[in-house]
Amino acid sequence: MAAHPTTAFDINVQPADGGSRYKLTEEKMATITIFGATGDLASRKLFPAVYNLWNSGFLPKKIAVVGVARKPKTDAQFREEMCEALKKHSRSTDGLGDACDPFVSNLYYQQVEFHDPAAYVKLRERLEEIEKKSNMPGHRLHYMAVAPEYFAPIIEQLSAAGLTRNNNGGPWSRVVIEKPFGHDLDSARALNNRLSKAITEDQIYRIDHYLGKETVQNIFAFRFGNAIFEPLFNQKYIDHVQITMAEKVGMEGRRGAFYDQTGALRDVVQNHLLQLLCLVAMEPPAISGAKPTRDEKVKVLSAVEVPKGEPLDRWSVRGQYTEGPGVKGYLSEEGVAPDSITETYAALRLRIDNWRWAGVPFMLRTGKCLKERVTEIAVQFKQPPTHYFRDYGIAMPQPNMLAFRIQPDEAISLRFNAKPPGMSMQIAPVNMDFNYGESFKTELPEAYERLILDALRGDSTLFMRSDEIDYAWQIATAIAEEWKDAPPPSLYRPGTWGPQEADRLFETCAGKWRTP
């Protein structure tokens, strides 16, 4: 009897090789410098990510991570602080022990005044000394976890000090740049221009941590690893797409000053939401890899249309949260101007003007201090073309809905209609659910783990190219332009789903905002 073919339906939790093709050997490992090492991002996300990669064997045992910042500090102090941070923030504390040894013995600290050329010469000497001592090959990954105004000055200084060499076949250097990449189209272009004089595009890894989320990458697997859904992903079958990124938190007492200069559009629409839109809307690249994938995303972004000619309140709503039970109003947050009109909520109806998506509204929504923390993409299909059940006195069945739950309770759910048992003909919606927790009994890695590993491996698929950033800013800037002379944001109470006015965005299409 012929052997039973391996069924594609078996859930294979780990890659057959345990992910070994992603493991870095000593010759391929880079020295990592983290600029902004004393900041929040570094202690909450970056060092824990490096620890988890190291602890799960993706990095060699001997590594060198150099924290760089302006405060004076010894290696010993820094190791102690990072040990505390790991105990607090790492998703796994397995193997950490009391003193976090031996992991923290791989950490070093170097004080650098960001505008002082001599400090970069010292940094280079320090890196050479550490690399020699640890027998490391001299590749370098510089991570910019600093305020955006320092991105260009630091990278220019690194380049001037010979810290960005990129020898073909020899030691390489790469730079990871955090968001926000620019404040608008002009500043993003100016930054891209400045960087292009110091380093080459292939050395730049512009991060959007949403792309590192397991569930976001799973959109690739779902769309391009299954043959049954992709033929339906177009204007013939899809009524509209809703992308929601809702947060329960407000300013958390520390982000007011930054946020007030930024607002929801620049903080998350320009990057996270447009990236999610790209992933649901892009064409399947012919082959995998950074260039084909990013080319397709760029095509989507270049086809996004802001419905400028339409009345503003039909396609965009801005909101700002007021005071609520136990929650300060936005205007009372530290660092926020008392008469600020910065939006803490934004809802948009955009179009993608291409063959696949013409006429399909893409509804985007995000906000702070909303009812739940949830990010999801919901694809609503069209109604059946005829109402077969009319004569039974049954209402038109609900349209099919495919929902990608990005976080929390990561899942994919497909809603379809079924007949509840009984003598009468009835139609009721039911769900077919795939739940990460139940199907893959394993903890999901953090987005930063994936992205740091990719940057070390030289895979830029999940990072943004300069033209992608440019198109995303063109969209955000066009929206901001339309908002310039608009009335101030509508107010909403914390713990709700945002301003009622957002419902108007559905006036020209079927459906309503989901309450996930």
Residues catalogued as catalytic: 272
> Angle of helix 290-303 relative to helix 466-483, nearest 10 degrees?
20
Least Å from the CB of residue 192 to ligand BG6:
20
Tokens 């005071």 belong to residue: 323
* Contact map string, positions 189 to 228, toward ligand BG6, x by CB under 6 A: ----------------------------------------
Beta carbon of residue 137, minimum distance to ligand BG6 (angstroms, whole number): 33
Q: What is the DSSP letter of 515?
A: -
Interaction residues for ligand BG6, span 33-72 (CB under 6 A)? none
Q: How near is the Cβ of 271 to ligand BG6 at its closest, in Å?
A: 7
What angle (nearest 5°) sits at the alpha carbon of residue 41, between those of residues 40 and 46? Answer: 130
For the chain, give the longest Cα–Cα distance: 85
CB 413 within 8 A of CB 405: yes
For 50-78, give the DSSP string.
Answer: HHHHHHTTSS-SS--EEEEESS---HHHH
> Which H, E and C letters describe 329-368, residue by residue?
CHHHCCCCCCCCCCCCEEEEEEEECCCCCCCCCEEEEEEC
Residue 281 C-beta: closest distance to ligand BG6, Å: 21
Binding to ligand BG6 (CB under 6 A) within 237-266 occurs at: 247
Q: Is 268 in the site for ligand BG6 (CB under 6 A)?
A: yes
- Binding to ligand BG6 in span 392-421, by CB under 6 A: none
Please say which residue, 64 or 452, places its beta carbon nearer to ligand BG6: 452
State in angstroms the smallest separation of the CB of 144 from ligand BG6.
Answer: 15
In the complex, least distance from residue 267 CB atom to ligand BG6, rounded to whole angstroms? 5
Between 174 and 179, CB nearer to ligand BG6: 179
**Of residues 361 and 367, the one with the C-beta less far from ligand BG6:** 367
Helix (H, G, I), strand (E, B) or coil at 183: coil
User: Can you tell me the distance from the alpha carbon of 494 to that of 329, in angstroms, rounded to the nearest whole number?
Assistant: 8
Contact 158, 164 (CB under 8 A): yes
Which x/- pattern, by CB under 6 A, does the window 146-185 give for ligand BG6?
A: ---------------------------------x------
Is residue 204 within 8 Å of residue 177, measured between CB atoms?
Answer: yes
Q: How far is the CB of 179 from ligand BG6 (least distance, A)?
A: 6
Compute the least distance from the CB of residue 369 to ligand BG6, in Å: 11
Residue 164 or residue 375: which is nearer to ligand BG6 going by CB?
A: 375
Nearer to ligand BG6, 375 or 460 (CB): 375
Question: In this complex, which beta carbon is closest to ligand BG6, that of residue 267 or of residue 449?
Answer: 267
Smallest CA-to-CA distance from 468 within 289, 278, 285 is with: 278
Q: Which is nearer to ligand BG6, 156 or 267 (CB)?
A: 267
Q: Residue 516 corresponds to which amino acid?
A: P
d(CA 230, CA 123): 50
Residue facing ligand BG6 at closest CB distance: 267
The DSSP string of 276-323 is: HHHHHHSPPPSS-SHHHHHHHHHHHHHHEE--TTS-HHHHEEEEEE--
Q: Which two tokens stand for residue 10?
A: 């078996």
Measured between alpha carbons, how far is 286 from 495 in angstroms, rounded to an integer? 44
C-alpha distances in angstroms, 74 versus 38, 86, 100, 104? 12, 18, 17, 13
Applying CB under 6 A, what is the total number of residues that bind ligand BG6?
A: 4
Taking the C-alpha atoms of 298, 373, 365 and 240 in order, what is their torsion angle to the nearest 10 degrees?
Answer: 80
Peptide bond into 384 cis (omega under 30): no
Which of 267, 333, 468, 470 binds ligand BG6 (CB under 6 A)? It is 267
Nearer to ligand BG6, 247 or 410 (CB): 247
Which residues are near ligand BG6 by CB under 6 A?
179, 247, 267-268
